[in-house]
Chains A and B, each alone.
Chain A
Amino acid sequence: MIRCWGPLSLLVLWCLIALLGPLFPLTPNQIDLPNILTGIGSQAWLGYDDLGRPMFDRLVIGARTSFIVAISVVTVSFIMGSLLGTCSAYIGGVVDLVLVRMIDIFLAFPGILLAIALAGMMGPGIENVVIALALVGWVGYARLARAQVLSVKEQEHVVAAIAIGTKPLGIISRHLLPLIMAPLIVEASFGIAGTVIAEAGLSFLGLGVQPPAASWGSMIRDGTRYMLVAPHMVVVPGLALMAVVLAINIFGDWLRDWLDVKAGTRHTSRS
């Protein structure tokens, strides 16, 4: 049970910080010159950065950035990918062929380099990061949904539904989507972890949010220049990033087992 509640509580904390952060009197951009590079201590929870800005406040703002990017990227790519995959597998024929080729084309670009290229081409900024990551991300869901539908649509209940004259839309929404949701949701939960890291990576390269806004990736990037005198500038956002991603991964892992048991399939791998 700790595999569920431990990570889940951390994730809820992450969401709350991200959503309620602006309600608190935070001063992420207030420069406090005497405190430049001050480490973790009694004056401020997590110390100050190279411009004398409080790390704790910036960490909260960074949580907001990563949360917004992760949720919007996964939502967009999840809906786009699963709808396209489901419809094309259900309709079949030329439509399916076109989608498969499209997926092939997207996969023919090397992963992170495509996101970097898109973000770099559109110029830095948080909305461009979302667009770039969603454009790269939908392919996974489409492929998974397509493979799932291909195996489900030959089952008797779907044939029966067709036989009694159910409309295609009804078949997709009532007879196909509920059955293929479990693996897609698991994929989405891992997708959130992947997006958090990818956003941090893009921000680390300078393609994400622009100063003075904060992201955990850009905080690490800023910190690397002062790593030897103020290691907390790298360690604090890095640990935050790691904790969130680890929590999502463990939670997704638990979710996969849980849904697997529910689906009644053979339960061989516990991991």
Chain B
Amino acid sequence: MSKPGQDTRRGANTTSALNGFAQNSLAGGTNYYIFLYKERIRIYSVCTLVLYHTNGHACFVPIMQNFLIRNILQRLLLLIIVSIVAHSVIHLAPGEPSEVDPSNPRMKPEDIANIRAAFHLDDPLYLQYVYWVRDLASGELKSFKDSQPVLEKIWHRFLNSLPLFICATLLVWTLAFPTGIHAAVRRGAVYDRSSTFVAYTLISIPGFFLSYLMILWVVDWLNVPVIGMRTFGMEQAQPAFQFMDRVWHLVIPSLMSAIGGMAILSRYVRSQMLEVISQDYVQTARAKGLKEESVIYRHALRNALLPFVTMFGLLLPSLIGGSVIFEQIFAWPGLGRLGYEAILARDFPVILTLNFFAAALTLAGTLISDILYAVVDPRIRLQ
């Protein structure tokens, strides 16, 4: 058991600082990095399960099935508990939909009583939970605020959030890796130092501040639209025009939500690369007389990439909470903003359902990352 123990410690050490970066970007909208890095600690701490020198893949499939069944059941149970906790917290917290507008002189006590009765707010908590589950399952859950079906609302906003999420993720992943690898290979050189400085600066700039600086200067200069998803009144235009209009509206918001993540990930890639480059087998490859490109890209990079594979699964939850502040700044009608507005309006069904999906995505994401990790790293066995 000593080997997994060491592994745990190393994983926790290298990631502890990155946790810090991750939290910096809290308000920057890339909150999935928190999950990401904490998850790595979790993977390592769960790695008392890790056994080196496994018997190969012969026993992999049945173990995989057991692992899947047990984990999915555990996660379903956790999902139910989370939804119950969220339900109680939201109902026990001060503030109710009937109290959102207390200064309205037209709001009479009997109106409040009507509202409370209509939303079942006077029923016991467990009954309200049952109502919520029943309505959610039958798809008839309605928003308190505007009586629109909740699932439809969320689906609509999800389609709006999706392009932003995809663009930002693509930007992060395509730009962070070359930067980080290059910095690690040229460790100590001017490029490394300047990219370190730029990364630290970008990590430290609050996303909303940078966004407003962009609005101030870049918009004026490049004439890029920044508010909303499309230009108002473009509905009659040709599809190609509408499409380009949407693409232009996507530029600044996705760049802004990507920047924090880009800086963090490039640092992480760099430190991971540095760790791998100093390993013995890389020295051996060099000593064999292999070309430097081959050493870096075939021997070092492939192993340095291992932990990043697991991040694909952990990207999922950022779909919902990922960019509340950016959606707010750029008036992007996405999921994060839906949640924020629902919280302010005490729109319980929307909050609870969004939270339910967010928790489900998070749990699914961690499961996927565990599986991916076991698939790419033969030293890890699922039990």
Contact = CB atoms under 8 A, between A and B. Distances in A.
A187 B205 CA distance: 19
Interface in B344-383: 344, 351, 355, 358-359, 362-363
11 contacts: A105-B82, A109-B358, A113-B320, A115-B26, A121-B93, A186-B20, A187-B17, A190-B21, A202-B27, A238-B206, A256-B17
A190 B19 contact: yes
A112 B31 contact: yes
A139 to B, nearest CB: 8
A238 B213 contact: yes
A148 B12 contact: yes
Contact of A246 (B34, B201, B320): B201
Contact of B216 (A150, A217, A231): A231
Interface in A99-142: 101, 104-105, 107-117, 120-123, 137, 139-140
Contacts of B38: 107, 139-140, 143
B95 A123 contact: yes
B161 to A, nearest CB: 13
Given A110-B31, A111-B34, A241-B209, 9 more contacts: A107-B362, A108-B362, A121-B90, A121-B94, A183-B13, A184-B16, A198-B27, A204-B206, A220-B212
Given A109-B82, A194-B24, A246-B201, A147 B359 contact: no
Contacts, number: 236
Contact of A249 (B86, B200, B322): B200
Nearest to B346: A121
Contacts of B271: 269, 271
Chain A interface, DSSP helix/strand/loop, else mixed? helix
A190 B321 contact: no
A64 B355 CA distance: 34
B129 to A, nearest CB: 16
A194 B26 contact: yes
A106 to B, nearest CB: 9
A234 B212 contact: yes
Interface string A231-248: 100110010011001100
Interface of A: 101, 104-105, 107-117, 120-123, 137, 139-140, 143-144, 146-148, 150-152, 154, 183-184, 186-187, 189-191, 193-195, 197-198, 200-202, 204-205, 217, 220, 224, 227-228, 231, 234-235, 238, 241-242, 245-246, 249-250, 252-253, 256, 260, 265, 268-271
B81 interface: yes
Contacts of B248: none
Contact of B8 (A150, A197, A200): A150
Most chain A CB within a 10 A radius of its CB, from B201, B208, B212, B351 = B208
Given A227-B215, A268-B278, A112 B26 contact: yes
Nearest to A247: B204
Given A147-B12, A190-B24, A111 B363 contact: no
Given A116-B343, A123-B94, A186-B17, A242 B204 contact: yes
A120 B347 CA distance: 12
Interface of B: 1-2, 5-6, 8-9, 11-14, 16-17, 19-29, 31, 34-35, 38, 41-42, 44-45, 48, 78-79, 81-82, 85-86, 89-90, 93-95, 187-188, 196, 200-201, 203-206, 208-209, 212-213, 215-216, 267, 270-271, 274-275, 278, 317-318, 320-322, 324-325, 328, 336, 339-340, 343-344, 351, 355, 358-359, 362-363
A109 B359 contact: yes
B41 A144 contact: yes
Contacts of B9: 147-148, 151-152
A26 B183 CA distance: 47
Nearest to A192: B20
A17 to B, nearest CB: 19
A60 B71 CA distance: 51
B31 A194 contact: no
Contacts of B322: 110
Contact of A193 (B8, B23, B48, B196): B23
Contact of A144 (B1, B16, B89, B205): B16
Contacts of A143: 38, 41-42, 45
A102 B86 CA distance: 13
Contact of A121 (B95, B336, B359): B95
Contact of B336 (A113, A228, A241): A113
Contact of A190 (B8, B17, B359): B17
A109 B203 CA distance: 23
B206 A271 contact: no
Given A147-B8, A154-B5, A197-B24, A110 B19 contact: no
A269 B272 CA distance: 9
A121 B27 CA distance: 18
A194 B18 CA distance: 11
Contacts of A184: 16
B275 A268 contact: yes
A248 to B, nearest CB: 8
A110 B317 contact: yes
A185 to B, nearest CB: 10
Contact of A151 (B6, B14, B82, B270): B6
A105 B318 CA distance: 17
